[in-house]
Amino acid sequence: MKYDEDKVKELYQENLEDARKRLASLPVAEGRVPNIKGLNGWVYEQTIHYCLCQELMATELSTIVEDVKEDVPIPLYKRARVDLLVGNVAIEIKAEGSFPGDAEKYSRYRVIVEERGWVYYYLAGSDIYRPFRLSIESTFGRERAFFLDTKGDWERFVKEVIKNYKKEP
């Protein structure tokens, strides 16, 4: 593996800081450094996208990278979107874990996603509030919920994506 949990976190932190500095350098920002949750989430999603693609390119299945798409609508469910789609593997990505009601929301999404023939995963940088973490594990199944505050989960995540990947028609 090219990355592990610590390297992903370090890359995320470096790029988040760089993004804040660059945004603060905009003339309209007048040096004010943004501190918005949306930026954290976007940079985290981009970090996971990048690291996963790097891992895939290092395998004999490097062509999978061509099938990686961002922000994909969940068919037939309002304006819901999947953060990352790798062929048939749909991935929800959260920098800092889940919130009240997320497990129920993802349960509804899972039915639709799986009817579509996709495999549904959840990846979070961490989820320190145990009841939320357990509800996410219950919703997705332990084999499809990954928390990068758990050693070995990055490698497990990459292997599961590769194992379950099928090219979308």
The residue with tokens 């996709």 is 118
Domain locations in the chain as residue ranges: 5-164
- Give the pairing of strands 119-124 and 68-73: unpaired
Q: Return phi, psi of residue 85, to 5°.
A: -125, 120
Helices 37-57 and 153-164: angle between axes, nearest 10 degrees: 60
Residue-wise burial string across 22-33, b where 16 or more C-beta atoms lie within 10 A, e elsewhere? eeeeeeeeeeee
Average pLDDT, the chain: 91
At 19, the amino acid letter reads A
Could you give phi then psi for residue 79, rounded to 5 degrees? Answer: -105, 20
Residue-level pLDDT at 55: 95
Whether 125 contacts 6, CB under 8 Å: no
Query: Among 19-28, 50-59, 67-76, which is the least confidently predicted range?
Result: 67-76
Query: Which CATH number does 5-164 carry?
Result: 3.40.960.10
CA–CA separation, 123 and 154 (whole Å): 9
Which residue is it, tokens 């990352």? 84
pTM: 0.92
What is the rounded average pLDDT of the residues 19-29? Answer: 95
pLDDT digits (tens, 9 = 90+) for 91-121: 999 999 888 889 999 999 999 999 999 999 9
